[in-house]
Amino acid sequence: MAGTHLTLGVDYNDQQIQHYLKKLHKLSNDMSPAMLEVSEFLHERSRDHFDDQEAPDGTPWATLTPETLARKRKKGVPVNQILHGEHLHLRDTIYPFHSTDVAGVSTGPGTTAYAATHQFGDEERNIEARPYFGLSAEDELEIIEIVKEHIDRKA
């Protein structure tokens, strides 16, 4: 059971969520249905952060620099959407994944460096962090509710 976890670009370990995952695991070795539902929730929330242009904790993303705005205008890219580029929208490369004991979201192949740059920022290139992976306190409660519903079905 030590391996059961959520992955949001990095492993995420919340004791209260872990408590309910362990409880579900005692009732069923195949937690795939619950993990599928959790991964879909994580996927939806990660995409919501792009739509709302805010971090998981509700903090608005840093505004675009004048240089970035000029570059986007020159390319004809909408300037009112942060992290939406000319061709590839990072938001659209996020995908859910799950197994019997893991639920998570990640970005697609080939976008790892680009995604990390925007999740964590890059001081050398003067790019501010604009986190989109993560959980708010409300998200944590929702995951607990999802797992509790699966516990109730197994009990």
Q: Give, as one character, the DSSP assignment of residue 143.
A: H
d(CA 22, CA 42): 19
Q: Report the run of H or E that residue 96 belongs to, with start and end.
A: strand 94-98
Judge whether 94 lies within some domain: yes
What's the rounded mean pLDDT across residues 45-49?
95
Q: Give, as one character, the DSSP assignment of residue 14.
A: -
Q: How confident is the model at residue 6 (pLDDT cuts 50, 70, 90)?
A: low
d(CA 31, CA 26): 10
- Quote the radius of gyration of the chain (alpha carbons, Å): 18
What's the rounded mean pLDDT across residues 79-83?
86
Judge whether 14 lies within some domain: no
Tens digit of each residue's pLDDT (9 = 90 or more) over 119-153: 999 999 989 999 999 999 899 999 999 999 999 98
Question: What pLDDT sits at residue 2?
Answer: 39
Tell me which residue range forms the domain holding 49.
Answer: 20-154
Number of domains in the chain: 1
What's the rounded mean pLDDT across residues 85-100?
84
Q: State what percent of residues in the chain have pLDDT above 90.
A: 50
d(CA 151, CA 137): 21
- Report whether 6 contacts 68 (CB < 8 A): no
Flag the least confident range among 30-39, 55-64, 86-95.
86-95
Q: State what percent of residues in the chain have pLDDT above 70.
A: 90
Look at residue 11 and tell me whether its pLDDT is greater than 80. no
Judge whether 141 lies within some domain: yes
- Tell me how far apart the terminal alpha carbons of the chain are, to the nearest angstrom: 19
Judge whether 62 lies within some domain: yes
Judge whether 112 lies within some domain: yes
Look at residue 17 and tell me whether its pLDDT is greater than 80. yes
Question: What pLDDT sits at residue 122?
Answer: 94
Judge whether 11 lies within some domain: no
Judge whether 7 lies within some domain: no
Judge whether 4 lies within some domain: no
Burial 39-54 (b: 16+ CB within 10 A, else e): bebbbebbeebbeebb
Positive or negative torsion for Cα 12, 21, 98, 51: negative
Question: What pLDDT sits at residue 88?
Answer: 62
Is the pLDDT higher at 41 or at 17? 41
Question: What pLDDT sits at residue 16?
Answer: 83
- Report whether 149 contacts 142 (CB < 8 A): no
Flag the least confident range among 3-12, 65-74, 95-104.
3-12
